[in-house]
Amino acid sequence: MLKELRIKNLAIIDDLTVRFGKGLNVLTGETGAGKSIIVDALGLALGDRAQSDLIKAGQTDATVQAFLDFDAPVALPATDIDTSEGLLIRRVISSAGKSRAYINDTMVTLQTLSEIGKSLVDIMGQHEHQGLLSSDNQREILDLYGRLQQDREAVALLFNEVRDLKKECVELQEKARERAQRLDLLRFQIGEIDSADLSPGEKGSLEQEKKILSNLTKLSSMTESVYALLYEAEGSCLEKLAQVRTQLREMSLIDSSTEEALRSIEAAVPLLEDASIAIRGCKDRYDLDPARLEFVEDRLETIRKLGKKYGDEIEDILKYRDRAETDLEGLASTDARHAAATSQLALKETELEQAAAALSGARKKTARKLEQLVSKTLKELAMSGPGFSIDISSETGQDGKPRTGPKGFDRIEFLFSANPGEPLRPLSKIISGGELSRVMLALKSILAEVDRTPVLIFDEVDAGIGGRAAESVGKKLDALSESHQVICITHLPQIATHADCHLRIEKNALNGRVSVEVRELTGKERQGEIARMLSGNITDISLKHAGELLEKER
């Protein structure tokens, strides 16, 4: 429960501490005493948007601090903060327009503070009452009462899957034409390279062969000449060398110093013989078909053209071919992905339709129960013959099926009539402030068993009512306080008399300065406040009446 709220330098408040109790807490006081500031301050502590003009004149910052205590530790959304010893929330607002938020002295983001605040405290003022008029909020109420959040989350999950699959299918479809063109190009390129039947190193071999073929006449002539000089002609190198060898042998018999020269000549003879054989082989190699040159030149031109497209060297061309084949396989698998995505989309759309239909059925069943309970509760709140109904409809798409969103396909509309015989109409069309407050209170009373929010704050719940209706509202707030801590700002004595903790807000002026004070009232002070609320002045008659009201509620 909310145990304490401290406000410093906010609006007309210097430094104020408000302590709350269990059950029903009521705040009363003269008009303009600062009751709304208390609610605004608590809203700031719980993550409401802050404005620098809220800071008290002459101050650089304002601080709002709330302390909540729990009977058992609670798990807070988006954080692992320990709550075993309570929860201290602090919000500091600077005149520069910035604010800082702390939970148990740990700095948190405003989003985290807001999420935690909504899970702990529900503030219902005129703005929140107006929120009841929206179809989205009415759906939230229906789902909360029916405990349908998990069913709705399942629909949302399927909706997101369907949305993502649709996007994927559209993207794959949009790329289909581009993919087809790319496939044709890759197939052509691979075929062009494959038809050339290239081999690594082939280009160098062909270039060497072309050089030879281009000089066949010259090479043949030179081969004949070299062969003749080495071996075939009279007086050839080998013949002359044989003569040299013979003479050196004779010389070595006389002078051993010539043996080294002899050995060199004898070593040279087989080398020249091998050279002669090699040159003779060239004669056969150069005996080529002249048409071979045309083939080699055509082959080199083919390689040159492929090189301009795919890489200078044959190795580069073959690598490009391998990459193209990999791309081709990837693009071909895209067709399979599109088929798989289309099949998966159809499956998920069916699952979504079934889940949304099941959710809609559960909502309709829940709506019938909630209608009866709201009508019954409104009668308890001094409405003579109220009518309340929940209309559940859907919008049909072009395919003739309900148009499903992340929360299903139902459009929820609360219908109401204040008096017997009046037609049911949407709340937003006919309801008055007092009627709307009681409808909100009726719903909160019914939702008490499923709503885990521990603290409920009602501001202006008594708008537009009085007399028997006010007494009924007081009783309902009293009953609601059995399962929740309830804080209510009221100007009606019929509500104030039900309080477990009665707080009076007073605005005082001293030496030109305004201050706000909050005091818990008991005994005669409380009786006097009830008397003031009854007649505007404290008189013997109003005191007596106040005493009777308080005695009645004991």
- Overall average pLDDT of the 224-242 stretch: 81
Q: Among 48-52, 288-292, 368-372, whose mean pLDDT is lowest?
A: 288-292
Q: Categorize the per-residue pLDDT at 334 as very low, low, confident or very high, splitting at 50, 70 and 90.
A: low
Domain ranges for the chain: 197-331
pLDDT of amino acid 21: 92
pLDDT of amino acid 26: 94
Q: Categorize the per-residue pLDDT at 431 as very low, low, confident or very high, splitting at 50, 70 and 90.
A: low
pLDDT of amino acid 126: 60
Partnered with residue 507 across adjacent β-strands are: 516
pLDDT of amino acid 333: 67
99 three-class SS = strand
Whole-angstrom distance, CA of residue 300 vs CA of residue 210: 9
Query: Given the structure tokens 């080529």, which residue do they identify?
Result: 288
Residue 539: pLDDT over 60: yes
Among 201, 227, 217, 204, residue whose Cα is nearest residue 288? 217
Please, what is the average pLDDT of the chain?
Answer: 86
Whole-angstrom distance, CA of residue 306 vs CA of residue 7: 82
CB 2 within 8 A of CB 18: no
Q: How many residues does the chain have?
A: 554
Residue 60: pLDDT over 80: yes
Residue 156, C-beta contacts closer than 8 angstroms, at least 6 positions apart: 406, 407
Structure tokens at 516: 């706000």
For 446-491, the pLDDT digits (tens) are: 988 787 788 998 887 777 777 788 888 889 899 889 989 999 998 8
- Overall average pLDDT of the 10-30 stretch: 90
Residue 52: pLDDT over 80: no
Structure tokens at 81: 């903060």
CA 539 to chain centre: 63
For 126-166, the pLDDT digits (tens) are: 655 566 778 888 999 999 999 999 999 999 999 999 999 99
pLDDT of amino acid 268: 86
- Overall average pLDDT of the 120-127 stretch: 77
How big, in percent rounded to 5, are the helix, strand and coil portions of the chain?
55, 20, 25
pLDDT of amino acid 331: 75
Half-sphere exposure for 150 (CA within 13 Å, toward CB): 1
What Rg, from alpha-carbon coordinates, does the chain have? 49
450 three-class SS = coil
pLDDT of amino acid 347: 95
Give the best-scoring range by mean pLDDT among 419-428, 480-489, 511-520: 480-489
Q: How far separated are the first and last CA of the chain, in Å rounded? A: 23
- Overall average pLDDT of the 298-313 stretch: 89
- Overall average pLDDT of the 110-123 stretch: 87
pLDDT of amino acid 128: 57
Whole-angstrom distance, CA of residue 529 vs CA of residue 531: 5
Q: Categorize the per-residue pLDDT at 360 as very low, low, confident or very high, splitting at 50, 70 and 90.
A: very high
Q: Categorize the per-residue pLDDT at 551 as very low, low, confident or very high, splitting at 50, 70 and 90.
A: confident
Half-sphere exposure for 401 (CA within 13 Å, toward CB): 11
- Overall average pLDDT of the 178-198 stretch: 87
Structure tokens at 466: 């009085």
459 burial (CB, 10 Å; 0-12 / 13-18 / 19+) is: buried
Q: Categorize the per-residue pLDDT at 507 as very low, low, confident or very high, splitting at 50, 70 and 90.
A: confident
6-31 as b/e: b if 16+ CB within 10 A: bbbbbbbbeebebebbebbbbbbbee
- Overall average pLDDT of the 542-552 stretch: 85
pTM for the complete prediction? 0.68
- Overall average pLDDT of the 195-213 stretch: 86
Does residue 330 or residue 389 have the better pLDDT?
Answer: 389
Among 162, 148, 153, 157, residue whose Cα is nearest residue 360? 148
Percent share of the chain, pLDDT over 70: 95
